[in-house]
Amino acid sequence: MTLRVWTVSIALALGSVTPSAPQDSPPKTTELVKVVAQSLDKTVSVPSDLIAFQSVAIFAKISGFIQSIDVDRGSWVKKDQLLAVLVAPEFRARTVEAQARVQAAASQVAEAEARMFAAESSYDRLKAAAATPGVVAGHDLELAERSLEAAKANHEAAGGGLKAAQAALDAVEEMEAYLELRAPFEGVVTERNAHPGSLVGPSGLPVVKIEQVSKLRLLVPVPEIYVGGIARGTRARFKVAAYPDQTFEGIVQRPANSLDAKTRSMMVELDVANPDRALAPGMFADVEWPVSRGATTLFVPASAVVRTSERQFVVRVRDGVAEWVDVRRGEVQGELIEVFGGLQEGDMVVRRGNDEIRPGTRITAGATP
């Protein structure tokens, strides 16, 4: 936006004797400019880091020896692809033992079932015979009924034992599935720490490490003064040293919504598509972070702002009289600087402010000599 420039003469008000505008001050010539309102639209450079969108170190859940491993550093893998096979002889023994317990429990169920059927058959015969008075003693019928109840209870207990044995076998077989290590997602193997015959387990180094690089996260530590303009969906451009002539782009997705007390910055994650895999996790990125406000703000030339040991102000001219207006500095945009204070759009201020122009100085328009 172009600023119109006015030329005026500044003279002391005749007959006015105040500390702020001495009568014997000589007239001065200066330039005035309008305070303008415009949108802040600029970018600042923020050093950032690229990391994998997903990264996982794969350990063996159970201890065993590597029987085979089919990937190495740099191998591209698909989701659920077999990475390595372990062998654990003692674990196989646990499986055989669990299977034997299931078979034994099944035999107990069969025996209990046979006893239950026999007891039920005896009870039914005695009950039928008892229909004829004097053929079967009541005590014998009662004993047969109790024997049937006991046989049913034993059968139910045997069934519970079989379920428990089967559950134990299922748990062992489920654990045995962990002897095969598979990729949790599509990515690249960035680390391999085992070879056939290596003893691996839940602790120590991972067998392999996999990172998803078809999509990356760009971590941007946004300084506190710029966090007000963070908005999801905003696009930001960046460059990396490996490709100095190329510009990449990320989309703001996950602001932390909390500032780091040490750096006074907010970590913001941008999603970066990387279908050609040109970018790699760990790269340093120089981000052109967009800075904006929710509404227009006021701007004046940077030279209009006067800074002293006590205050910061601009010299505004209203009704031909100079006055000091305290302001706070914001962002620099071109030759202008953002200011906040008691100004309004269209106010006239001295282009090159200084504290020699005292409040109360009378101003008259005139040509620049």
Containing 103, the helix (H) or strand (E) segment is helix 89-129
Q: Which CATH class is domain 43-53+212-292?
A: mainly beta
Output the CA angle 94-98-104, nearest 5 degrees: 145
The stretch 123-137 carries a mean pLDDT of: 70
**Residue ranges of domains in the chain:** 5-39+295-365, 43-53+212-292, 55-88+181-208, 90-177
pLDDT at 93: 73
Nearest partner of 161 among 101, 105, 112, 114, judged by Cα: 105
Residue 7 has pLDDT above 50, yes or no: no
How is domain 55-88+181-208 classified at the architecture level of CATH? Answer: Beta Barrel (2.40)
pLDDT at 6: 47
Output the CA angle 240-246-250, nearest 5 degrees: 65
Residue 20 has pLDDT above 70, yes or no: no
CA distance 291 to 245: 24
Q: What percent of the chain has a predicted confidence (pLDDT) above 70?
A: 87
Q: How far is CA 211 from the centre of its chain?
A: 16
Minimum mean pLDDT range among 132-141, 142-151, 256-265, 353-362: 132-141
pLDDT at 5: 47
Q: Which CATH class is domain 5-39+295-365?
A: mainly beta
| pTM, rounded to two decimals | 0.67
Q: Summarize pLDDT for 204-219 with one digit per residue, the tens.
A: 899 999 999 999 999 9
Q: pLDDT: is 195 or 368 the higher one? A: 195
Is-contact 272 213, C-beta < 8 A?
no
The stretch 158-165 carries a mean pLDDT of: 83
pLDDT at 143: 79
Q: Calculate the average pLDDT of the chain.
A: 84
Task: Report residue 160 as tokens.
Answer: 């519970």
Classify 126 as helix, strand or coil. helix
pLDDT at 331: 86
The stretch 114-134 carries a mean pLDDT of: 76
Range with the largest mean pLDDT of 27-31, 71-75, 129-133, 178-182: 71-75
Burial, 72: exposed, middle or buried (Cβ in 10 Å; 0-12, 13-18, 19+)? exposed
CA distance 225 to 229: 9
CA distance 211 to 185: 9
DSSP secondary structure letter of residue 307: E
3-state helix, strand, coil in the chain (%, to 5): 25, 45, 30
Amino acid at residue number 11? A
Minimum mean pLDDT range among 163-167, 201-205, 252-256: 163-167
Containing 319, the helix (H) or strand (E) segment is none
The stretch 245-250 carries a mean pLDDT of: 96
Burial, 148: exposed, middle or buried (Cβ in 10 Å; 0-12, 13-18, 19+)? buried
Burial, 178: exposed, middle or buried (Cβ in 10 Å; 0-12, 13-18, 19+)? middle
Nearest partner of 208 among 110, 84, 108, judged by Cα: 84
pLDDT at 176: 79
